[in-house]
A = this chain, B = another copy of it.
Amino acid sequence: MYPSLKRDSRFSELTNEHIQFFKSTLGDDAAVIDGVSKDATDDLEPFNRDWMKKYRGHTKLVLKPKSTEEVSKVLKYCNENKLAVVPQGGNSGLVGGSVPVFDEIVISLSRMNKIRNFDDISGILVVDGGVIMEIADNFLAEHNHLYPLDLGAKGSAQIGGNVATNAGGLRLLRYGSLHGNVLGIEAVLPDGTIFDDLSTLRKNNTGYDLKQLFIGGEGTIGIITGVSIHCAQRSKAINVAYFGLPSFEHVQRAYKEAKIQLGEILSAFELMDARSQAFVHEVTGNKRPLEGDHPFYCLIETSGSNTEHDSEKLEKFLEHVMGEEIVSDGVLAQDETQVRQLWGWREGITEAIGHFGGTYKYDLSIPIKELYSLVEETRDRLNSKGLVGDDDSYPAIAVVGYGHMGDGNLHLNVPVRKYTQEVEDAIEPWVYEWIQKRKGSISAEHGLGIAKKKYIGYQRSDTMLKLMRQTKDLYDPNGIMNPYKYI
């Protein structure tokens, strides 16, 4: 699977003695899947493969501790015995960060799934690391609050994993990043030390904010066992509008106007290019929301506490941008069904594109002004090399761009009839060089994992990498935590 990688010989091989220790420590049959003393390939399979079936490892052991103390005992033993480990939440990541590369032990947080506390005055939620995102959000909905993150994998993604990967998603524009919303973290360091910073305070200015290192640390310096997070009031009113626009210049003007006129109720501003919408139409057969063809489409969502006020603001905004010819055409969802239908034109893109074969996917941050230039330049590049076209003789089908416009986050997708070295070589590392020149990010929200590890030099200076590696060495001197990945 990874021809350039070799198993690190510093790490011990698993023995029956190790297994005995884990079984007696965790004391529950359900807590250990043991593929060392017997064949357990099928039971281990879901922990060895990611959901895209793109990455695979060869673990022989899965441990499911039930408490922070158990995590501590297990990690301390692994550290002393030089056993490499991979922390695993919902295993819904996109960069191969949560599956083993070789025979690392998987430590699954799935049995640490308690909601510890919720204060409905402050809106502060405290949970075990293994609580599933959607379960937390449903619980919060009953208390008129919302989990400040939303993403496609919410039905399986765990909160500890959200934090470890610094997941972004659909609500970032409105509710901000986890670096601001996470108030406290409890984690276990490789030597078994319990990092006890599960503060439930919005303001706390007492020393270095070390918990931030675990946010986006991708399980390389410790395992997150508890999270305290600030949750906002749930909005009563959700409105959605969908526009067609003549150019990316117009998209930028529309975004600027939306920020001014919709201000505090703006909760999403999504960009979709013509090609992405054609794919959704072709695959779903759904009637298009607007007549005619437009080079660009946007979806705007507002969330607020008063339906009438929000509708009035959105209607006024629509009138303005159509009157000024910033947008060519637009439609406003009239009910919840239409809200879901319009969102389908954005959320259905990934599936529609995947329908035809493979896809080269890039999750990039780019200064907004240049956001779409990359799609155009990639299209020109593949065109000039004769690699993209409508008939089956071309390896690539199209070059598609969409994403979270408000966050400067572009998803560049190149659907292909089959994966070929030619197409890959035409895009990489060129795309990373392009990003490097604009000081963008080679991974906006997916993280590094094993997929982006080799490209980190396009993003970070030698100084920053040196400092990051110092942090890794300080927290994990034996290098047992999620090896072969990250920086």
Interface residues of A, count at CB 8 A: 91
Q: Is A216 touching B210 in the complex (CB atoms < 8 A)?
A: no
Looking at A263, A304, A461, which has the most chain B CB atoms within 10 Å of its CB? A263
A211, chain B: closest CB distance, angstroms = 9
Residue with the greatest number of chain B CB neighbours at <10 A, chosen from A203, A235, A471: A203
Across-interface contacts of A208 in B (CB, < 8 A): 213, 216-217, 221, 468, 471-472, 487
A330 interface residue per 8 A CB criterion: no
Q: How far is the CB of A253 from chain B (nearest CB, A)?
A: 9
Instruction: Say yes or no: B313 contacts A305, CB within 8 Å.
Output: yes
Q: Judging by beta carbons under 8 Å apart, are B213 and A441 in contact?
A: no
Complex interface: chain B residues within 8 A of A12 (CB):
none
Complex partner residue of A202 from B303, B309, B407, CB under 8 angstroms: B407
A102-110, A176-184, A283-291, A392-400: which lies at the interface? A176-184
Which A residues between 437 and 487 are near B, CB-CB below 8 angstroms?
439-448, 452, 456, 459-461, 463-465, 467-468, 470-472, 474, 486-487
Contacts known (A181-B180, A260-B144, A464-B195); A203 close to B306, Cβ less than 8 A: no
Are A168 and B203 neighbours in the complex by a CB distance under 8 Å? yes
Given the complex, which residues of B lie within 8 Å of A180, measured CB to CB? 176-177, 179-181
Cβ-defined partner of A265 (8 Å) among B206, B255, B264, B407: B264
A190 vs chain B, min Cβ distance (A): 13
Q: Which residue of B lies closest to A165 (CB)?
A: B205
In the complex, what distance in Å separates the CA atom of A263 from the CA atom of B237? 11
For A470, list chain B residues within 8 Å (CB): 474
- Chain B hits for A465, CB < 8 A: 207
Complex interface bits, A183-209 against B, C-beta within 8 A gives 1, otherwise 0? 000000000011111011111111111
Copies in the complex: 2
How far does the Cβ of A397 sit from chain B's closest Cβ, in whole Å?
27
Q: Are A262 and B305 in contact (CB under 8 A)?
A: yes
B-contact bits for A415-449, CB 8 A (1 contact / 0 none): 00000000000000000000000011111111110
Task: State which of B260, B262, B309, B408 has its C-beta within 8 Å of the C-beta of A122.
Answer: B408
Residues of B contacting A441 with CB < 8 Å?
A: 199, 201, 203-206
Which of A55-63, A352-360, A362-370 interfaces with chain B? A362-370
The 8 Å CB contact of A306, one of B207, B313, B443, B461, is: B313
Q: Which residues of B contact A447 (CB under 8 A)?
A: 205-206
Smallest Cβ-Cβ distance to A123: which chain B residue: B259
Measured in the bound complex, the distance between the Cα atoms of B212 and A212 in whole Å is 6
Q: Which residues of B contact A409 (CB under 8 A)?
A: 202-203
Which A residues contact B (CB, under 8 angstroms)? 119-123, 144, 165-166, 168, 172, 176-177, 179-181, 193-197, 199-210, 212-213, 215-217, 221, 233, 235, 252, 255-256, 259-265, 303-306, 309, 312-313, 365, 367-369, 404, 407-409, 439-448, 452, 456, 459-461, 463-465, 467-468, 470-472, 474, 486-487
